[in-house]
Amino acid sequence: MAFMKSKRLQALPPYLFIEIDKKKRALLAAGQDVINLGVGDPDRPTHRFIIDAMAKAIYDPKNHRYPFDEGVPAFRHAAADFMRRRFQVQVDPDHQLIATIGSKDGIAHLPLAVINPGAVVLVPEPGYPVYTSGATFAGGRIHRMPLREQNDFLPDLDAIPEVVRRQARLIWLNYPNNPTAATAPLTFYERAVAMARRYGWVIAHDLAYGEVYFEQAPHSILEVPGAAEVAVEFHSLSKSFNMTGWRLGWAVGNPAILAALAQVKGNVDSGQFNAIQVAGAMALAHYDHPEVKGQMAIYRQRRDVLHDGLTALGWSFRKPTAGFFCWVNTPHSLPSLPLCARLLEEAHVVTVPGAGFGPAGEGYLRIALTVEETRIREAVERMGRLKL
Ligand SMILES: Cc1ncc(COP(=O)(O)O)c(C=O)c1O
């Protein structure tokens, strides 16, 4: 029997990087010195005080059993406490907050909990691909909201046609943004909440990069009065605490939406290992620990090195104030995919072409600040040798 992938999988957007991935693997296999500025994965280890908490938790037999459905109480309480200290947002840890297996789990599963097949899901473009895949798996129809530089990479909500607004059930927002690195002012969230109330949308705000910032601290959408009536927000320990491999996050906001998400998760997974949640509680209790805050100074320094280096080459980009990506204009408006291929082949530098995030991402490269400063300098030097 010839195997056919499900229609759901076939409906996902095509993967554009096959050739680039092949080339990267070939260079690595040949022992070439490849500088990878492509991945959004912190290069530094998880902070020691979190590993110590995990080491202790792992010996406690009560952590060896199936996790609680909504998450270990200590973790939920620590997350609620974090929401209060960091954003001055009060939430009930028993009804307004559930643990997730990284934020990706919650992001991928939310559409199954809140939309019916055929409903429109509003998705930013460029954007994190899981908004589209989760909505597609749930039978949603995607309406893309372009993020343009002239609009500070915020979606123009007024430009969404009336008929689409009426068919939409769910809108995805993500600030600090991947890949554009933009942040959003509170006034933008106020507009989004007002529109969601008017049209009956669920707002899902992805705040996975909320604790990676160099200037003003990013907002939670829940700072907007009444936002919890329409919104849920996804948080993650991955980027903030160098914990991508641990897989821990939480969703917070509207209790009915969270109960529906917990019901979906109750049918597909059994939550994250309790010991990891206990260590996560320790991380959140010390989100302002000098080791955690010190990480921000490292990214800031790397950002400045990249900005100074590329500016000297005549390239340009808005200096990000949060997140660890730079959304760099391609020089001479070159198309991003062939430029990215040349950077890989001729400079052995990996970047991500903006077009990979959809047509609205064309004209940009995403460059991650997840390698040491010396490697960023080296990458810029190599890029400078290319005749573009
Ligand atoms: C915008 C955005 N949201 C969510 C995630 C998921 O991260 P995690 O599942 O590790 O929390 C990522 C990961 O790269 C991301 O870039």
- pLDDT at position 1, please? 84
Measured between alpha carbons, how far is 348 from 345 in angstroms, rounded to an integer?
A: 6
Q: Ligand 1 atom closest to Cα of 237? A: 11
**CA-to-CA distance for 191 and 189, rounded, in angstroms?**
5
On the question of a common fold for 7-45+290-384 and 48-285, the answer reads no
Ligand 1 centroid–CA 236 distance in Å is 7
- Ligand 1 atom at minimal distance to the Cα of residue 236: 11
Q: Which atom of ligand 1 is nearest to the CA of 248?
A: 11
Q: Among the residues of 6-137, which ranges form H helices? A: 7-10, 18-29, 48-57, 73-87, 102-114, 130-137
Cα dihedral 226, 147, 251, 367, rounded to 10, equals -140
User: Encoding tokens for residue 352?
Assistant: 């991500």
172, 207, 239, 357: residue to mutate for ligand 1 pocket, most atoms within 8 A of CB? 239
Give DSSP secondary structure letters for 9-36: HHTSPPPTTHHHHHHHHHHHHTT---EE
* Interval between CA 104 and ligand 1 midpoint (Å): 6
Predicted structure pTM score: 0.97
pLDDT along the chain (388 residues), means of 10: 93 82 90 93 96 98 91 97 98 98 98 98 96 97 97 98 98 98 98 98 98 95 98 98 98 98 95 97 96 94 97 96 96 95 96 94 97 98 94
Q: State which ligand 1 atom lies nearest to the alpha carbon of 128.
A: 1
7-45+290-384, CATH topology level = Aspartate Aminotransferase, domain 1 (3.90.1150)
Q: Closest Cα to residue 123, out of 189, 198, 204, 186?
A: 204
- 């329409």: which residue's tokens? 230
- Going by alpha carbons, the residue nearest to atom 5 of ligand 1 is 104
Give residue 332 CA to ligand 1 midpoint distance, Å.
31
Query: Does the domain at residues 48-285 carry the CATH identifier 3.30.360.10?
Result: no
Nearest residue CA, atom 3 of ligand 1? 208
* DSSP 8-state symbol, 332: G
Looking at residue 15, its pLDDT comes to 76
* pLDDT at residue 320, rounded to an integer: 96
What φ, ψ does residue 144 adopt, rounded to 5°? Answer: -90, 135
Our mutation pick for probing the ligand 1 site, out of 236, 247, 250, 272, counting the most ligand atoms within 8 A of Cβ, is 236
Going from the Cα of 129 to the center of ligand 1, the distance in angstroms, rounded, reads: 10
pLDDT, residue 13, reads: 86
Lining ligand 1 with CB less than 6 A are 40, 102-104, 107, 128, 174, 178, 206, 208, 236, 238, 244, 249
Q: How far apart are CA 39 and CA 47, in angstroms?
A: 20
- Which residue from 89, 57, 19 is spatially nearest to 279, judged by alpha carbons? 57
Residue 312: predicted pLDDT: 96
Where along the chain do its domains lie? Answer: 7-45+290-384, 48-285
Q: Which ligand 1 atom is the nearest neighbour of the CA of 103?
A: 11
Please give the distance, rounded to the nearest whole angstrom, from the Cα atom of residue 103 to the centre of ligand 1: 6
* Probe target for ligand 1 pocket from 41, 104, 369, with the most ligand atoms within 8 Å of CB: 104
